[in-house]
Structure 1
Amino acid sequence: MDRLKALGRVLPRVVVAVAAGALLGFAFEPHDHPWLTIVAVPLLLAALDGISMKVGFLVGAGFGITYYLVLVPWLSVIGGDAAIALAVLEGLFYAVFGLFATQVLKLRLWMLWIPALWVATEFATASVPFGGFPWGRLAWAFSDASLGKLAAYVGIPGLSFVVAFVGVLVYAVLRRASGLRLRAVALVAGLAIVFGSSLIHLSIEGDGKTVKAAMVQGNVPGKGLEFLGRARTVTKNHMNATLDLEKRVQAGTEMKPDLVIWPENSTDIDPYKDDETRADIEEAVHAVGVPILVGAVTEGPGPNERQTTGIVWDPVTGPGQRYAKRHPVPFGEYIPFRNQLLPYIKRLEMIGAQTVPGVGPGVMPINGVTYGDVICFELAYDNVIQDVVKGGAQVLIVQTNNATYGGTGQPEQQFAITRMRAIETGRTVLIASTSGISGVIRPDGTVEHKSGQFVSDVYVATVPIRDGQTLATTLGGWPQWIITGLGLLGLVLALVNRRRRRGGDQEPPPAPDSTRTREKVPA
């Protein structure tokens, strides 16, 4: 009977947490309802307030698993089991958040510690295991909202803190234990943040110089996993699209670009070793007469190894500068514990050779302009972006291949992340995808061009060159480290407070004729 009563008390909180996780998932693309974040966060806190740490772990797990099931259903293209496994893995981070948040909510400064602990949780998900998966950060939902402009000043971790803080303020207004003064302060602070962000103006001007770049989306012959067996067709599609571009230039109906950008996996066959692939690239390069940044998979450096690269192919000198992707996707481009897992999971054989991460940022000076090359998923990693901007990148390039996930919502999510990177860095971002979404994003995050999916698309843009740094790129990783440190400090204070309570440090009950003194609440 007691167990049924306990279940009756716990189950409603788990249901509320699951609803909060689902709502948070719908805040992101392709649903794009960012203000659901300030509904989801208070709901989760309501479910966590006043319960034990064990129950908090369960509530947090229900929230996190549901959140990722709604956020990344596109992973089911690889397999439903893969989508569930990722949701459970990432959900465990929020289970730990729930475990500790139950205690942090008891502190006097809980309104500071909770959003800091949230950022610490995001930092953990972005770091481990296998390099982390930074796809579920609150900041990514605000690429099309005024609050997202704050990323230019506080970076992506800082913006996640602000979003979580606004959610905390909403909860403070609704929380029963909040006094009238605290509710009034929370309400005013929340409105000030939201409406104040709408007054921010981000410039799209450069330093007086511009460059013309062409993004080539040649398209692929199939969807899902079908495209993997048609590498030569993909390369020829990009070659033909580039030849068509040059015809329009010659006819005077299109601007002549200074650089042509092909996407990641525009050739899956090593152009250094395959004569036909090399001939296709050189035909396109000689036709346009300007360098092409080719997305190529190259063999090596060791046996049964490969690298996903961007190669600058010059019409005169041929292949030159090369950037190798630093964050290949686990179980997508390489297999952790390969020798142990392959005998038991035959599906992993489709991955082929092991992708080896590159060393060093994709900083590429080309004809007097310094570009920062970033390949696909790695644009979600802060260190990759920070390294290219601090390395002098004046324009950012994203080479990507989303053909596996076309039509699933993943390309829209990645495009939103790219928009946030433009805001954070104050740089124009040029995106070339094999099958969509390709485009041009201005330094304020607005979209100049956005292609469709599974269509051929060639777009030439004149974009500003920028050398200056935003406050966010000047600060680099410091906001994340400081906020994470605050989150851990709040956690320590909460555990110390809990230990004191359990150790009987509270005042004994007063005598009938005495006056109870007010209990001190730790920070």
Structure 2
Amino acid sequence: MLARFLVAALAGVALALAYEPVAVAYLMPLSLAAYALCTREVRSRAGLAVGLVFGAAFYFPHIYWMSPSIGLPAWLALAFVETLFYGALGAVSPVLQRLRSWPAWLAAAWVAMETIRATWPFSGMPWGRLGFGVVDTPLAPALAYVGVNGVSLLVALMGFLLARVVVSSRGDERRFSLAAVVLVTAAAAAPTFVPWTLATTGRTTVAAVQGNVPGRGDDVLLDVEQLTQNHVDATVALAERVSSGESPRPDFVVWPENSTARDPFEDASINAGIRQAAQAIGVPVLVGAIVDAGEQHVLNEGIVWDPVTGAGDRYAKRHPVAYGEYIPLRSVLPDSLVNSGQLARIPRDMLSGSRTTPLSIAGVKVADSICFDIAYDDGIKVQVDRGAQLLTVQTSNASFIFTDQVEQQFAITRARAIESGRYVVVAATNGVSGVIAPDGTVVDRTQRRTQDVVLETVDLKSGVTPGLEVGEVLRATTPWIAVVGVLWGILVRRRASHADGQPSRAPQAAEPKTPRHDQDLRV
């Protein structure tokens, strides 16, 4: 077992290296092949242990950015919870590998694991999905065809088929497995030659304002008045360039999340600043604001602020971050914990938004996402289904500005652009802001910890890519497919045990053995 633990740990680290800042995506299939081999022909409890080692070696490095930004306890707690999912999959992997087509069953179970941990417990954690790691590979165009979940399935299938090549005992079986690897890889890369494109229905010019954060740059609450003023100043400066003919006039402007970290309907000075900026530029501004929702709650909203009529259409963040923007189980936690450290910065819990229709901004239907929302499957699709022509991301990465989280989130956003077939406009408080094309190409982007404005004319798109539809189907069905596979694997073991005249039990981890007859395990 020691050798299995060592290989699993190396495989987990390799998977972490597939994402930013290293971003060697080609390590993903190799890492998953090792995961399958290490959890093969062992008891489920041994598979659990191996899966935990793999998960810890992957997830602790993958989200290490939480430690210096949010705090050591938050990083340890979240990484530990996510590690449990890889352990649970390791426990069922030996069962699924009893089936003849086990690479497909295990790949479906992998996607099921990713989709479940992305939404549970509490608001879940979608970071580290395989589909987010392919934006700079030939597999990227497949996101428009099969979505993030579908690409995760393809990458997992490639890895598990490689593992099957290793364990194949007969020449014909090995050749078949190699052919399957080639076929799946070719199918996954085929969209590179026939990329999916949506119809263009018009064009619009958008400005993304990055006002910058006062002080060191990692605390939006340090000086909330100056934070808003920075965005006002950048917008007014843009208006002056427009008036002089130096820059084209945008149709609307996007400010980031937390560009007003205090309720603009309650704070007169912040309200006046927003009105000044909107009137100077003369077009609607999508403002990122923290808005009071009673004495115990707040909302994180994108508010369409018209230069004449003021505040209008709103989008509220769908997925607030547990223990970052709200405290689950607050009522049962001791006051000493709630009122200390990072949790003391959350005096009121943030409520979840439920909007399903796009915002209407200057005649454009805009699907908005706020920060981590972009990593979840549900918010974008429901807005695209209702006619969204363009995606915007309002984000405040200030807490993570000195970490790799910023680049990881930008890569996720690029994946969403390809999956949805639409341009994405990103506005961040102090980095990284930018515009991303439907093929994932970065049209323009800012540097961190600077005040800057990205101004681009982009196409408006209509229709829904197959990727959004396929991704939703896989999100709903793969957990049930995994359950069926596990039950089938248990049944196969019982049949094989009865045929051998032995009690039903898995082989010992230290003495793996090949079934006496291949047909006993084939379904």
Identify the TM-score tier after normalising by the shorter chain.
over 0.9
Aligned to 1:473: 468
AA of the residue aligned to 2:478: I
Aligned to 2:192: 198
Aligned ranges for residues 258-273 of structure 1 at < 5 Å? 258-273=251-266
CA 383–191 in structure 1, closer or farther in 2 if over 3 Å, else same: closer
Aligned to 2:511: none
C-alpha deviations, 1:461-513, integer Å up to 9, x for none? 101011122112344611322333322221111122234445x34368xxxxx
The separation in 2 between residues aligned to 1:222 and 1:160, in whole angstroms, is 40
Contact 1:406 1:453 in 2 (8 A): yes
Q: Is 1:340 matched up with 2:335? A: no
Aligned to 2:439: 444
The separation in 2 between residues aligned to 1:273 and 1:326, in whole angstroms, is 23
Aligned to 2:520: 520
Q: TM-score, normalised by structure 2?
A: 0.93
Aligned to 1:365: 360
Name the SS for the 2:106 alignment partner.
Answer: helix
C-alpha deviations, 1:264-297, integer Å up to 9, x for none? 0000111111110000000001100000000000
CA 465–198 in structure 1, closer or farther in 2 if over 3 Å, else same: closer
Aligned to 2:318: 326
CA 383–22 in structure 1, closer or farther in 2 if over 3 Å, else same: same
CA 53–223 in structure 1, closer or farther in 2 if over 3 Å, else same: farther
Aligned to 2:280: 287
Aligned to 1:387: 382
Aligned ranges for residues 217-296 of structure 1 at < 5 Å? 217-223=210-216, 225-296=218-289
The separation in 2 between residues aligned to 1:285 and 1:183, in whole angstroms, is 61
Q: TM-score, normalised by structure 1?
A: 0.93
Name the SS for the 1:418 alignment partner.
Answer: helix
Aligned to 2:140: 148
CA 258–193 in structure 1, closer or farther in 2 if over 3 Å, else same: same
C-alpha deviations, 1:193-229, integer Å up to 9, x for none? 35534323344x7524100110000010134653322
Aligned to 1:405: 400
Contact 2:367 2:383 in 1 (8 A): yes
AA of the residue aligned to 2:209: V
CA 270–61 in structure 1, closer or farther in 2 if over 3 Å, else same: same
Identity of aligned residues (%): 39
Name the SS for the 2:392 alignment partner.
Answer: strand
Contact 1:323 1:362 in 2 (8 A): no
AA of the residue aligned to 2:101: L
The separation in 2 between residues aligned to 1:230 and 1:517, in whole angstroms, is 71
Aligned ranges for residues 200-219 of structure 1 at < 5 Å? 200-203=194-197, 207-219=200-212
Name segments (4+ residues, structure 1) moved above 4 Å: 516-519
Please point out which of 476, 488, 495 is paired with 1:493.
488
Contact 2:213 2:219 in 1 (8 A): no
Contact 1:425 1:443 in 2 (8 A): yes
Name the SS for the 1:73 alignment partner.
Answer: coil
Contact 1:224 1:405 in 2 (8 A): no
Q: Return 352-361 or 151-160, whichever deviates more.
A: 352-361
CA 363–197 in structure 1, closer or farther in 2 if over 3 Å, else same: closer
Deviation at 1:353, TM superposition (A): 1.6
Contact 1:172 1:182 in 2 (8 A): no
Aligned ranges for residues 152-171 of structure 1 at < 5 Å? 152-171=144-163
Please point out which of 96, 109, 118 is paired with 1:117.
109
C-alpha deviations, 1:420-449, integer Å up to 9, x for none? 111111111000000111000111111101
Contact 2:259 2:429 in 1 (8 A): yes
CA 392–278 in structure 1, closer or farther in 2 if over 3 Å, else same: same
Aligned to 2:500: 506
C-alpha deviations, 1:391-428, integer Å up to 9, x for none? 21100110000000012110111111111111111111
Contact 2:366 2:390 in 1 (8 A): yes
The separation in 1 between residues aligned to 2:80 and 2:408, in whole angstroms, is 20
AA of the residue aligned to 2:174: L
Contact 2:131 2:151 in 1 (8 A): yes
C-alpha deviations, 1:362-393, integer Å up to 9, x for none? 61112321111110001111011111111211
AA of the residue aligned to 2:240: K
Please point out which of 49, 69, 84 is paired with 2:40.
49
CA 462–238 in structure 1, closer or farther in 2 if over 3 Å, else same: same
C-alpha deviations, 1:241-284, integer Å up to 9, x for none? 00110111111110100001000000011111111000000000
CA 358–519 in structure 1, closer or farther in 2 if over 3 Å, else same: closer
Contact 1:216 1:262 in 2 (8 A): yes
Contact 1:155 1:472 in 2 (8 A): yes
CA 208–120 in structure 1, closer or farther in 2 if over 3 Å, else same: closer
The separation in 2 between residues aligned to 1:474 and 1:500, in whole angstroms, is 38
Q: Return 476-485 or 238-247, whichever deviates more.
A: 476-485
CA 275–419 in structure 1, closer or farther in 2 if over 3 Å, else same: same
The separation in 2 between residues aligned to 1:371 and 1:518, in whole angstroms, is 55
AA of the residue aligned to 1:126: A
Deviation at 1:517, TM superposition (A): 7.0
Please point out which of 313, 316, 333 is paired with 2:308.
316
C-alpha deviations, 1:135-161, integer Å up to 9, x for none? 121000011112021111111111100
Name the SS for the 1:207 alignment partner.
Answer: strand
Q: Is 1:188 matched up with 2:179? A: no
AA of the residue aligned to 1:439: G
RMSD: 1.8
CA 224–50 in structure 1, closer or farther in 2 if over 3 Å, else same: farther
C-alpha deviations, 1:311-359, integer Å up to 9, x for none? 1100110111111111111000000011222514212111232111122
Contact 2:111 2:152 in 1 (8 A): yes
Name the SS for the 1:449 alignment partner.
Answer: strand
